[in-house]
Amino acid sequence: MELTVLVDNNTLTDQYLLGEPALSLYMEADGARVLLDCGYSDVACRNAARLGIDLAALDAVALSHGHNDHTWGLVPLMACLAERVAAGRHAPKPRLVAHPEALAPRRIGPGEPIGSCLGRDALAECFALTLSRDPVPLTDRLLFLGEIPRLFPFESAGPIGERDSPHGPVPDDLPDDTALAFCGRDGLVIVTGCSHAGICNITEHARRVTGIRRVAVVIGGLHLLAPDPARFAATADYLQSAGATDLYPCHCTGLAAKLALSRAAPIHDVGSGLRLSFA
């Protein structure tokens, strides 16, 4: 699998790409082109163009969850797909794979929406929708993990704002938060957006679903921002026991967390333009 960071909070020296407090990761695996999350604005599309990546040729888009810094970039992406058709480059609609709750309206307070700005009907104009709580294969070796069981008490967290439900607004505990797992030669590569469900919960679910126990690499946001030495230590212990050899924390991961996790495995810099290859 070839992975390119299209959007991160940081940029890499001498890449001359854009960054924003958001995330978008582009992957090529088993002959398929897959995007995890779309960032907040048009930065994913602009960086992809600079890197020679044709987002109009995507086979699938997966959403790690429904927050705006991962979904609002769907709007410029849809424009890119529509322009392809207008130019006569007809192709099957790419799949959009997400948890059913990922498209629910969300807010922190009055006048501060933080959820997807597009619903099912609008997205269905450009995508073939697969909304699933269960794991969904994206390629032979790349798996959308579906809803993550919350197994580890130390990863429990309070709600973030509220989410609309059929019964009205409810505290949002982000049941839609998920990730991808690539079954590589050296073990699992966990590709995550924000890890609101907890990176240990995500990783353990991936191990159980795939049957592969060894975790080689974790890349993505870990949502470890507030100083919490006990949680940092428990997370490092788990990742070390899982056999992780390389960690690429980014987006919503603070410096204190990176320093604490460095005792589990080497920590690598991440920024827009980073390219990685996994056998």
Angle, helices 43-50/74-86, rounded to nearest 10 degrees = 60
CATH number at residue 103: 3.60.15.10
Has residue 92 got a pLDDT over 90?
no
Contact 93, 59 (CB under 8 A): no
Q: pLDDT value at position 86?
A: 85
Q: What angle do CA 20, 24, 27 make, to 5 degrees?
A: 150
Q: 106: pLDDT confidence band, cut at 50, 70 and 90? A: very high
The predicted-structure confidence for 178-230, as pLDDT tens digits, reads as follows: 999 999 999 999 999 999 999 999 999 999 999 999 999 999 999 999 889 99
- Domain containing 34: what range? 2-277
pLDDT 10s digits, 58-84: 999 999 999 999 999 999 999 999 988
pLDDT tens profile 234-259 = 999 999 999 999 999 999 999 999 99
pLDDT score recorded for residue 125: 93
Residue 97: pLDDT band (50, 70, 90) is: very high
Q: What is the pLDDT of residue 176?
A: 98
d(CA 163, CA 211): 33
CA dihedral sign, ordered 76, 81, 82, 88: positive
**For residue 18, what pLDDT band results from cuts at 50, 70 and 90?**
very high
Residue 144 has pLDDT above 90, yes or no: yes
Q: How far apart are CA 148 and CA 133, in angstroms?
A: 9
Which pLDDT value is given to residue 229?
94
Mean pLDDT of all residues in the chain? 96
Mean pLDDT for the stretch of residues 121-147: 97
If one counts the domains in the chain, the total is 1
Give the pLDDT score at 44.
98
Beta strands 128-131 and 95-98 are: parallel
